[in-house]
Amino acid sequence: MTIHAINTRNQLPGRIVEIVHGPVVSEVDIETASGIVTSIVTSRSIKALNLDVGQEVLAVFKATEVLLAKI
Protein backbone atom coordinates (compact mmCIF):
# COMPACT_ATOMS: atom_id res chain seq x y z
CA MET A 1 0.00 0.00 0.00
CA THR A 2 1.30 3.43 -0.96
CA ILE A 3 0.00 6.67 0.45
CA HIS A 4 -0.25 9.24 -2.32
CA ALA A 5 -2.03 12.00 -0.42
CA ILE A 6 -3.53 12.77 2.97
CA ASN A 7 -6.22 15.41 3.20
CA THR A 8 -4.89 17.28 6.23
CA ARG A 9 -2.43 20.06 6.92
CA ASN A 10 -1.48 18.83 10.38
CA GLN A 11 1.38 16.55 9.38
CA LEU A 12 4.92 16.19 10.72
CA PRO A 13 7.47 13.90 9.10
CA GLY A 14 9.77 12.19 11.56
CA ARG A 15 11.72 9.11 12.60
CA ILE A 16 10.72 6.55 15.22
CA VAL A 17 13.14 6.83 18.14
CA GLU A 18 11.49 4.49 20.66
CA ILE A 19 8.67 1.95 20.88
CA VAL A 20 7.39 0.93 24.31
CA HIS A 21 5.54 -2.33 23.67
CA GLY A 22 2.48 -3.25 25.68
CA PRO A 23 0.13 -6.24 25.54
CA VAL A 24 -2.69 -4.26 23.85
CA VAL A 25 -1.37 -0.77 23.08
CA SER A 26 2.15 0.57 22.59
CA GLU A 27 3.77 4.02 22.70
CA VAL A 28 5.65 5.20 19.63
CA ASP A 29 7.99 8.18 20.07
CA ILE A 30 8.67 10.10 16.86
CA GLU A 31 11.43 12.68 16.58
CA THR A 32 10.27 15.59 14.40
CA ALA A 33 11.68 19.02 13.60
CA SER A 34 9.24 20.35 16.22
CA GLY A 35 10.32 17.88 18.92
CA ILE A 36 9.25 14.45 20.13
CA VAL A 37 5.67 13.39 19.38
CA THR A 38 4.22 10.31 21.09
CA SER A 39 1.51 8.21 19.48
CA ILE A 40 -0.52 5.47 21.18
CA VAL A 41 -0.98 2.64 18.68
CA THR A 42 -2.42 -0.84 19.10
CA SER A 43 0.32 -3.43 19.40
CA ARG A 44 -1.38 -5.39 16.61
CA SER A 45 -1.03 -2.38 14.28
CA ILE A 46 2.67 -2.05 15.09
CA LYS A 47 3.16 -5.66 13.98
CA ALA A 48 0.93 -5.26 10.90
CA LEU A 49 2.77 -2.11 9.78
CA ASN A 50 6.13 -3.65 10.69
CA LEU A 51 7.10 -0.47 12.55
CA ASP A 52 10.54 -0.31 14.09
CA VAL A 53 12.99 2.19 15.58
CA GLY A 54 14.77 4.22 12.91
CA GLN A 55 11.95 4.14 10.36
CA GLU A 56 10.62 7.33 8.84
CA VAL A 57 6.92 7.96 9.45
CA LEU A 58 4.43 10.74 9.02
CA ALA A 59 2.72 11.93 12.22
CA VAL A 60 -0.75 13.14 11.25
CA PHE A 61 -2.69 15.03 13.91
CA LYS A 62 -6.43 14.52 14.22
CA ALA A 63 -8.01 16.43 17.08
CA THR A 64 -6.22 14.93 20.13
CA GLU A 65 -5.03 11.78 18.33
CA VAL A 66 -1.87 11.22 16.31
CA LEU A 67 -2.17 8.90 13.34
CA LEU A 68 0.87 7.29 11.72
CA ALA A 69 1.61 6.54 8.09
CA LYS A 70 4.70 4.59 7.21
CA ILE A 71 6.69 6.31 4.43
- Report pLDDT for 60: 80
Residue-wise pLDDT for 12-57, tens only, equals 899 999 999 999 999 999 999 989 999 999 999 999 999 999 999 9
d(CA 8, CA 63): 11
Residues 6+ apart with CB under 8 A from 22: 43
The pTM score is 0.76
Query: How would residue 11 be classed by pLDDT, with cut points 50, 70 and 90?
Result: confident
Q: For the chain, what is the total number of helices (H) and then of strands (E)? A: 1, 5
* Count of domains observed in the chain: 1
**Segments forming the whole domain that contains residue 21:** 11-70
Does a structural domain hold residue 2?
no
The CATH number covering residue 26 comes to 2.40.50.100
Does a structural domain hold residue 58?
yes
Does a structural domain hold residue 4?
no
- Report pLDDT for 5: 66
